[in-house]
A and B are shown apart, each in its own frame.
Chain A
Amino acid sequence: DAGVTQSPTHLIKTRGQQVTLRCSPKSGHDTVSWYQQALGQGPQFIFQYYEEEERQRGNFPDRFSGHQYPNYSSELNVNALLLGDSALYLCASRRQGEEPQHFGDGTRLSIL
């Protein structure tokens, strides 16, 4: 039973570019959340998707957007990348209304 999978594992971009990160939830899960974890910090909630809609959003600018597909997989898009966007981006999935969330191993994004 595959857990949460994320791709790519590492990514290097330059300022101003845009990036798309991908997540496949654990089998049986329908809800996907995205978190940003800066070095030495705890994960910060970006947003959550359920039934292909954004259900809740954290304190992140509109440069951060997402999408959920009918198969429950999800994408995180970040436009106009800034140096401060360098972080580990984590995807977590669960069945709606249930805990706990299961995390993927993340995508390490570096902005030069």
Chain B
Amino acid sequence: QKEVEQNSGPLSVPEGAIASLNCTYSDRVSQSFFWYRQYSGKSPELIMSIYSNGDKEDGRFTAQLNKASQYVSLLIRDSQPSDSATYLCADPPNFGNEKLTFGTGTRLTIIP
């Protein structure tokens, strides 16, 4: 049974600062991870996917995957009020397992 643990927050960060979100996961064979952003009352939206060890940067977002430590993180630089949302990490389907396994989510608030 896959499990994903996420620092549950809530997390408050001043505008312009760096927000750091973290997850650990149980499945050693997991090859990749997804980060979703979910605004209140809306559906999860995929914002980052990372498929190999190391860092992946996309604009203000950087995802880091450390397979040895079974750890994945998301950094948001120059945080904006529009970044205020719940962020969910997810272990994607693989090897015949069809489901996304989500963490509990971290509610992030950017303080103007």
Interface centre among A4, A42, A55, A108 (most CB of B within 10 A): A42
Contacts of A73 in B (CB 8 A): none
Question: Closest approach, in angstroms, between the C-beta of A93 and any C-beta of chain B?
Answer: 12
Q: Cα distance A43–B38 when bound, in Å?
A: 11
A90 and B44 contact, CB distance less than 8 A: yes
Q: Cα distance A25–B23 when bound, in Å?
A: 30
A9 nearest CB neighbor, chain B only: B41
Q: Cα distance A105–B101 when bound, in Å?
A: 19
Q: Cα distance A40–B63 when bound, in Å?
A: 23
A48 and B105 contact, CB distance less than 8 A: no
Q: Cα distance A55–B98 when bound, in Å?
A: 8
Interface centre among B43, B46, B90, B104 (most CB of A within 10 A): B43
Interface size class of B (residues with CB under 8 A): 20 to 34
Contacts of B34 in A (CB 8 A): 100
Contacts of A105 in B (CB 8 A): 42-43
**B111 an interface residue at 8 Å Cβ cutoff?**
no
Q: Given contacts A99-B93, A100-B46, A103-B44, is CB(A43)–CB(B100) below 8 Å?
A: yes
B45 and A103 contact, CB distance less than 8 A: yes
A33 and B99 contact, CB distance less than 8 A: yes
B49 and A48 contact, CB distance less than 8 A: no
A100 and B49 contact, CB distance less than 8 A: yes
